[in-house]
């Protein structure tokens, strides 16, 4: 069960019932409520999730949202679900593809106890999540406990496994990652709390034949200088990075190559013939840093001050110009791993009405193309099947088609073969 907030995502969507509640207090009408929820639920439906409406009374708005009884009556709060119900029914009845999900994103649930305070860890992980959604990756999310129970064969289902803030790792999981065929991206201070033994900053540890040193990194400039497919189209790029927690290979195994630096420290490295990728610290969060960011105020109609929920992003902005570097790097990683992502040219993430900052404007989840914005969007998607009712062009082994999606709406594509 979940309450269906924008960044609350079940690790077992097929077994989860989501309640349409979330930030309902941001809305001032049934139309607001529909526009807030419909694209969010469309994305979650594409992930296999089911959901139910949540019928609330006017009295609930008065007692829990600080509304007056007159305001609740004026806005017809108790009737919103009646108007939204048919939209839910149509979405649940739409044919749903069961795509091959070739990306695994690991959220450090119990492993988060190994991390320092501050928003940088969650910002890095959530930014990666949004980028994967922006590119139309068909993915699976798991927490640390489920990840640590996976076999190497189960890991082989995925082309790319991402372990954000990989300070906490257990040896058995690491050995299975080495035995699998997946490309693996680690971020944060890799192995700092290896097997639940934490190494303080300034000290080293021996791991897999390497000596790793953990240390703070001062601010500097991120520069891509290596000749490697992961960074070739970034070569010559130079952007500022804020200070961060970091690790360095004091002695590295053969084949470890630094691809980007914030001198003199490596920021991006590869090992094991390019199959392991290390982001030294919180690269995607650092690229989003904007000390002048002002969190959005109310995103819609509520005039009640209590409706301003706690901002998750702090000084990290979706509109930082350096986010494009992180987006390009993520695309390179997807290509390097052979991920079959569906949006080749995504629209930049930004501030979207209702859902807030850092969100994807529009993307595709399974066969459902959704639009989080108040403007009509046309998105080019590539599919492993020919979409019925849409003009498409064959490009290699895919079909590309342009899908027009109205504001705060979705389009359910058809033409896929149902699975038994």
Phi-psi region of 181 (alpha: psi -120 to 50; beta: other; left: phi over 0): alpha
Q: Residue 306: which pLDDT band, with cuts at 50, 70 and 90?
A: very low
Q: Indicate if the pLDDT at residue 309 is higher than 70.
A: no
Tokens representing residue 380 in the block: 């080019």
Q: What is the pLDDT of residue 295?
A: 75
Q: What is the dihedral of CA 37, 43, 48, 54, to 10 degrees?
A: 0
pLDDT tens profile 215-227: 999 999 999 989 9
Decide: 284 and 131 in contact? Cβ < 8 Å.
yes
Cβ contacts of residue 154 below 8 Å, gap of 6+? Answer: none
Contact between residue 41 and residue 21 where contact means Cβ atoms under 8 Å apart: no
Asked if 162 and 247 sit in the same domain, the reply is yes
Q: What is the pLDDT of residues 267-279, one digit of tens each?
A: 999 999 999 999 9
Q: Please indicate, yes or no, whether residues 119 and 26 belong to a single structural domain of this protein.
A: no
Same domain, 234 and 141: yes
Q: Within this chain, do residues 160 and 276 fall inside the same structural domain, yes or no?
A: yes
Query: Span 291-299, mean pLDDT?
Result: 75
pLDDT above 90 (res 370): yes
Chain-wide mean pLDDT for the chain?
A: 90
pLDDT interval class at 18 (50, 70, 90):
confident
**Separation of alpha carbons 119 and 165, rounded Å:** 12
Position 50 in a domain:
yes
On whether residue 253 sits in a domain, the answer given is yes
Please say whether the beta carbons of 103 and 163 come within 8 A: no
Same domain, 123 and 88: no
Q: Let me know: does 195 contact 171? Beta carbons within 8 Å.
A: yes
What per-residue confidence (pLDDT) applies to 420?
53
Answer yes or no: is 252 within a domain: yes
Q: Domain holding 224: CATH number?
A: 3.40.50.880
pLDDT at 385: 97
Report the number of distinct structural domains present in the chain: 2
Tell me the pLDDT band of 47, cut-offs 50, 70 and 90.
very high
Distance CA 15, CA 152 (A): 24
Same domain membership, residue 177 and residue 80: no
Please report the pLDDT score of residue 21 as a whole number.
72
Q: Which residues of 194-213 are buried (b: 16+ CB within 10 A; e: fewer)?
A: beeeebeeeebbebeebebb
- Residue 417: predicted pLDDT: 85
> Bigger pLDDT: 253 or 125?
125
Tokens read off for 50 = 């089911």
User: Mean pLDDT throughout 126-135?
Assistant: 95
Q: Which of 240, 264, 287 is the last residue of a domain?
A: 287
The range of the structural domain enclosing residue 160 comes to: 103-287
Q: Identify whether residues 202 and 115 lie together within a single domain.
A: yes
Q: Is 402 inside a domain boundary?
A: no
Same domain as 115, residue 82:
no
Which residues are registered as beta bridge partners of 246?
215
Mind listing the pLDDT tens digit for each residue in 318-345? 888 899 999 999 999 999 999 999 999 9
Is residue 299 over pLDDT 60? no
pLDDT tens per residue, range 55-100 = 889 999 898 888 899 999 999 999 999 999 999 999 999 999 999 9
Residue where a domain terminates, one of 268, 287, 306: 287
Q: Which of 75, 93, 111 is the last residue of a domain?
A: 93
> What integer is the mean pLDDT of 231-237?
93
Statement to judge: residues 214 and 158 lie in one domain: yes
pLDDT in tens, 381-418: 999 999 999 999 999 999 999 999 999 999 999 999 87
Specify whether 139 is located in the same domain as 216: yes
Secondary structure of the chain in HEC code, one letter for each residue: CECCCCCCCCCCHHHCEEECCCCHHHCCCHHHHHHHHHHHHHHHHHCCCEEECCCCCHHHHHHHHCCCHHHHHHHCHHHHHHHHHHHHHHHHHCCCCCCCCCEEEEECCHHHHHCCCCCHHHHHHHHHHHHHHHCCCCEEEEEHHHHHCCCHHHHCCCCEEEECCCCCCCHHHHHHHHHCCCEEEEEECCCCCHHHCCCCCCCEEEECCEEEEEEEECCEEEEECCCCCCCHHHCCCEEEECCEEEEEEEECCCCCEEEEEECCEEEEEEECCCCEEEEEECHHHHHCECCCCCCCCCCCCCCCHHHCCCCCCCCECCCCCCHHHHHHHHHHHHHHHCCCCCCCCCCCCEEECCCEEEECCEEEECCEEEECCCCCEEEEEEECCCCCCCCCEEECCEEEEEEEECCCCEEECCCCCCCC
pLDDT for 9 equals 66
Q: Which two tokens stand for residue 51?
A: 């959901």
The span from the CA of 274 to the CA of 335, in Å, is: 12
pLDDT band at 25 (very low <50, low <70, confident <90, very high): confident
- If you average pLDDT over residues 7-15, what whole number do you get? 76
């Amino acid at each position: 069960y979940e309450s269906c907030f924008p960044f609350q995502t079940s690790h077992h969507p097929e077994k989860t019932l989501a309640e349409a509640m979330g930030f309902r207090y941001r809305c001032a009408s049934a139309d607001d409520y529909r526009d807030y929820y419909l694209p969010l639920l469309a994305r979650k439906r594409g992930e296999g999730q089911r959901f139910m409406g949540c019928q609330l009374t006017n009295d609930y708005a008065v007692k829990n949202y600080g509304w007056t009884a007159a305001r609740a009556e004026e806005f017809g709060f108790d009737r919103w679900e009646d108007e939204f119900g048919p939209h839910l029914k149509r979405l649940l009845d739409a044919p749903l593809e069961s795509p091959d999900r070739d990306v695994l994103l690991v959220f450090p649930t119990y492993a988060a106890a190994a991390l320092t305070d501050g928003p940088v860890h969650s910002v890095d992980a959530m930014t990666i999540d949004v980028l994967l959604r922006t590119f139309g990756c068909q993915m699976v999310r798991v927490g640390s406990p489920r990840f640590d129970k996976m076999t190497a064969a189960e890991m082989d289902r995925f082309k790319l496994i991402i372990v954000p803030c990989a300070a906490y790792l257990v040896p058995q999981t690491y050995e299975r990652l080495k035995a699998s065929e997946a490309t693996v991206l680690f971020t944060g201070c890799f192995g700092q709390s290896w097997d639940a033994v934490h190494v303080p900053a300034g000290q080293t540890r021996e791991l897999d034949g390497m000596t790793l040193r953990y240390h703070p990194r001062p601010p500097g400039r991120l520069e891509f200088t290596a000749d490697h497919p992961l960074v070739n189209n970034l070569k010559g790029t130079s952007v500022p990075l804020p200070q961060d927690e970091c690790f360095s290979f004091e002695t590295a195994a053969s084949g470890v190559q630094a691809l980007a630096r914030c001198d003199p420290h490596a920021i991006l490295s590869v090992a094991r013939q390019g199959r392991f990728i290390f982001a030294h610290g919180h690269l995607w969060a650092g690229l989003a840093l904007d000390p002048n960011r002002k969190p959005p105020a109310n995103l819609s109609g509520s005039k009640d001050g209590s409706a301003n929920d706690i901002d998750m992003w702090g000084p990290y902005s979706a509109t930082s110009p350096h986010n494009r570097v992180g987006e390009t790097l993520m695309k390179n990683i997807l290509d390097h791993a052979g991920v079959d992502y569906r949006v080749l040219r995504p629209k930049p993430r930004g501030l979207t009405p209702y859902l807030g900052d850092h969100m994807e404007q529009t993307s595709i989840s399974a066969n459902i193309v959704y639009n989080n914005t108040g403007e009509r969007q046309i998105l080019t998607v590539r599919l492993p099947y020919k979409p019925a009712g849409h003009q498409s062009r064959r490009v290699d082994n895919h079909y590309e088609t342009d899908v027009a999606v109205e504001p705060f709406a979705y389009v359910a594509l058809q033409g896929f073969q149902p699975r038994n």
